[in-house]
Chain A
């Protein structure tokens, strides 16, 4: 018990003795734990708003649709409406709405032209899937109701004018539905580009053979609606938007047991090429969640990059602190502390800080999660504060402790193994001699000569610095690739992309944290290098190097590895992106070049101040006070 008390007391005292370094350590680990908490906390946050919307709209358990079956270019078999209607009598179905005519058409509003999925509805309310109005009134002849998320993206509301297929309509209302998330409304089309779950077998089998004349109609089915919005209008108006042969039909079904919806879909989905398509409410709920899941995946992925960066920060800080604690280690051993006890004392300090960082990360991540969990205008209500499950707490704490342990273990064990006499003498760790770098440096200008020699003294620190930059640059490359993928995936007008705002927010947060942590690393590493090389720098000045040359040398010692790290980070980032996504979108060469050049410039700028401070310390004082 006494030993535990001693370890705890020494750990806490040491944290208090160097509060600035302790704070930096906590910050570095907290950056990773916050992002991880955010990512984990977003899991399932749209479930509640979806449930609220489903209840408010008497949401369907099954959305079934059927469309014209294209059997040859420009020729389609007529819609088999009987097959759709038969579903209303299927076992387990207790209520239904429709079939409603629907078609893909062009909408124009506020100068923006985009595809929409237009569904013809009755003016009277129905018992299954009656969209809940958030503005205005329900459909009437010449009056269109726009799905709320889509209306939000279009920036239109009740009273505005839009055109559908060139015909003018007044927006009479805005409503939410639990039946079709904005942009995922391609039901009723035989080659829907969006499928819930796996690709159905009938799609893999390919289209049927062309039917005899008389069984097909000349109609352009057109490509499936992609990234389209949803509007409702009267049946008459909907039929007026397309020829009868091109119309699809949608029917909403209510089951006695909503939980049986996936089974119902499996039982009634076609087994051969057909235009019938069924989706359960659980599939649709998951699709709403996808808006947030993209952000969640990005946050969880980037939290691992941040954990690596945090390790680099912690390793450098720990190295500096350990050098400062050499005498303390000697004293501990001199009074009878075993190497094991010494190692435990040193590690305990970092474990305490890791627990603090985990707590901080959990708190900040939990508080910040609602900012990213907004379900959007398409669902009713907000997601509220996400739940912090025991597993989230466990994972986040584990990551924080892991980062601290990995980064400090080697230093702690090395310190514990130091001989007592050596530790009591508090002699500095001898610098390494990297022969080829020293030989190479003689051929370079003075700042590079000094810089290379600083690098040659502590190669491990240089590797950490380069790794830190490589991780940051690879993260930025993934962010750029993600943005490129978003831009190429979204086929509609960019202003209507419902994910853009959230994605931009997430990518901005990730970029800021990545760059912030890398900046902390660059400054900490430069400062550590400046302190470590203070004797060599003072000596170089005594021998005639100017403060500017010494300062430039210290900066060069960071910029050269940063350049190497940035260059390595580009292919690493592209490889990471390839592993994370099937999307072939990549950043442009100019962007990649700019990242490398920008990184080098930023590191040069960031290291200037610590390098200048380090280079301007009084020469005589250092040489007088410090013996090599």
Chain B
């Protein structure tokens, strides 16, 4: 196993997230340690309710841990203020949600350019960059479409393009194919694979073994804790189809 501790883009130590008190106490995340190296793709797998999404929210700065540390790009982010955390989400992190979470009233290109606008880029630069990202995810011809006019797979590709908008250090994906049919799942898998090949650091939370199989490292999670870790060979686009059994 490669030692990622020294080159880690993301590092978590003793991460805990608890809800409730007394007998009602729930440990959604229970003492997680994690290092993710630059360019690495890590898949976190486990059954529903095991704490995968909560872990991703803690790592991505969407939520704060009850205890433990989160370091991103060499900077500890679990204790920083809301404004600083927002800046981290804006510049260092891209998030892909299972439910896409696109703005219904914005077109595909407007959704993708949103993080760039929030980061203060000029409208023309943001638009050019968004158009380019849409081209990269194969939706150049859909940039003026509202989410309601796109298929599930297309929506998720728009969401992925949006996650890449500010060239983040790391992209977190929370069950990115959970709402997709098989064909759309293959499209999204291909996209993630291309990101992996391009050196984008990825943390994918999933309970779908087919997605997990595309990662460099697979971590199994149960009851809020990591129970197993496996280093995979990683899938190229050519291997992907065979590996996940979606292509002949």
Contacts and interface: CB of A to CB of B under 8 A. Distances in A.
Given A443-B123, A446-B118, A628-B99, A543 B162 contact: yes
Contacts of A620: 54, 57, 62-63
A433 B63 contact: no
B95 interface: yes
Contacts of B82: 546-548
Nearest to B101: A539
A21 B99 CA distance: 32
Interface string A593-628: 000000000000000000000000011110110011
A464 to B, nearest CB: 19
Given A443-B123, A619-B63, A628-B99, A541 B86 contact: yes
B157 to A, nearest CB: 16
B89 A544 contact: yes
B63 A618 contact: yes
B118 A431 contact: no
Interface residues of A, number: 34
A457 B62 contact: no
B26 interface: no
A449 B62 contact: no
A542 interface: yes
A543 B112 CA distance: 11
Interface string A447-462: 0010001001100000
Contacts of B146: 433
A540 interface: yes
B117 interface: yes
B62 A544 contact: no
A547 B86 contact: yes
B78 interface: no
Contact of B105 (A443, A457, A544, A618): A457
B102 interface: yes
Interface string A226-254: 00000000000000000000000000000
Given A442-B123, A544-B90, A544-B91, A623 B63 contact: no
27 contacts: A430-B104, A432-B105, A434-B105, A438-B105, A442-B127, A449-B118, A453-B103, A457-B105, A539-B103, A542-B62, A542-B95, A543-B95, A543-B162, A544-B88, A544-B91, A544-B166, A546-B82, A547-B82, A547-B83, A548-B83, A619-B62, A619-B63, A620-B54, A620-B57, A620-B62, A623-B62, A623-B101
Q: What size tier do the contact residues of chain B reach?
A: 35 or more
Contacts of A442: 113, 117, 123, 126-127
Contact of A544 (B101, B119, B148): B119
B53 to A, nearest CB: 7
A434 B147 CA distance: 15
Nearest to B91: A544
Contact of B101 (A438, A443, A542, A547): A542
A545 interface: yes
A368 interface: no
B104 A544 contact: no
A548 B126 CA distance: 22
B224 interface: no
A536 interface: yes
A441 to B, nearest CB: 8
Majority secondary structure, B binding face: helix
A438 B123 CA distance: 12
Contacts of B62: 542, 619-620, 623
Contacts of A540: 114, 118
A543 B100 contact: no
A535 B103 CA distance: 9
B61 to A, nearest CB: 9
Interface in A413-434: 430-434
Contacts of A618: 63
Nearest to A434: B105
Contact of A545 (B118, B123, B126): B118
A12 B82 CA distance: 44
Given A544-B86, A618-B63, A623-B97, A438 B110 contact: yes
Nearest to B102: A628
B159 to A, nearest CB: 10
Given A623-B62, A628-B100, A543 B105 contact: no
Q: Which of B53, B82, B87, B118 has the most CB of A within 10 A?
A: B118
Nearest to A443: B123
A433 B89 CA distance: 26
A403 B105 CA distance: 32
Given A433-B106, A446-B117, A628-B99, 6 more contacts: A442-B113, A543-B162, A544-B119, A547-B86, A549-B86, A620-B57
Interface centre among A443, A449, A623 (most CB of B within 10 A): A623
Contacts of B54: 620
B46 interface: no
B234 interface: no
Q: Which of B82, B83, B117 has the most CB of A within 10 A?
A: B117
Interface in B91-141: 91, 95, 97, 99-106, 110, 113-115, 117-120, 123, 126-127
Nearest to B147: A628
B120 A544 contact: no
Nearest to B86: A546
Contacts of B126: 442
B106 A438 contact: yes
B115 A431 contact: no
A337 B241 CA distance: 52
A438, A443, A456, A539, most chain B CB atoms within 10 A? A539
Contacts of A456: 105
Contact of B103 (A443, A536, A624): A536
Nearest to B85: A546
A487 to B, nearest CB: 51
B103 A627 contact: no
A325 B79 CA distance: 41
Top 9 nearest A-B pairs (CB, nearest first) are A544-B90, A546-B86, A620-B57, A442-B123, A433-B105, A620-B62, A620-B63, A544-B89, A543-B115
B224 to A, nearest CB: 15
A619 B95 CA distance: 13
A430 B87 CA distance: 30
Contacts of A623: 62, 97, 99, 101
Interface in A74-117: none
Contacts of A541: 86, 89
B63 A628 contact: no
